[in-house]
Amino acid sequence: MVDVLDYPERATEPGLTLLCTPGGDVESTTAMAGAHATIMLFTTGLGTPTGNPICPVLKISTNTELAERLPDLIDFDTGPIIRGEATPDTLAPALLDQIIAVASGAEITKAERLGQHDFQPWKRGVSL
C-alpha cells in the first residue's frame, strides 16, 4: 500500500492506494474514479449492478451462491475460501491475472459488457 487518501484527494503514486469514500456503491466508485483509479476491485455480497464510465470495476463475489445466481454481474468468485476449498493465497494468482488482464485492456469487466456506466458525486453529509 503506497497511500491512504481522503475524499476527494487524487492518487499520485503507482501502487495500491486506499481512499476514504462514502458507503453508497455508486458514490464510492465515482470517488475512486475521481481519484484517478486505474481499476476498482469491488467486493460484493449482494451483487450490486454497478460500473463506472471512466474506470473499470471488477466485481468480486464473497460467496459462490451469488456468483452462480448473477453470473452476468460477477467477475471473480471468492466463495471457495468460505467453503474451505481454497485459501486467499491459492486464489490470489488467478485474481491478479484477471486484474492485469482488465487493466491492460485484454479483458473487459461484466459491468462494461452490460453498459453499467454509473456516476454519482458525493456531497459531504447525509446522502440518501
30-62 tens-digit pLDDT: 989 989 988 999 999 888 889 999 999 999 999
The mean pLDDT value for 73-101 works out to 97
pLDDT number for residue 16: 86
Q: How high does pLDDT run on average in the chain?
A: 91
Residue 85 reports pLDDT greater than 60: yes
3-class DSSP assignment, residue 71: coil
Distance CA 76, CA 95 (A): 7
CA distances from 125 to 20, 22, 34, 109, 120 (A): 14, 9, 18, 31, 14
CA atoms within 13 A on the CB side of 62: 7
What does 43-103 look like in DSSP terms, one character per residue? EESS------SSS-EEEEESSHHHHHH-TTT-SEE-HHHHTTS--HHHHHHHHHHHHHHHH
Q: Which amino acid is at 29?
A: T
The mean pLDDT value for 68-85 works out to 96
Strand ranges (E), 20-120 = 40-44, 57-61, 76-77
pLDDT number for residue 106: 97
pLDDT number for residue 127: 56
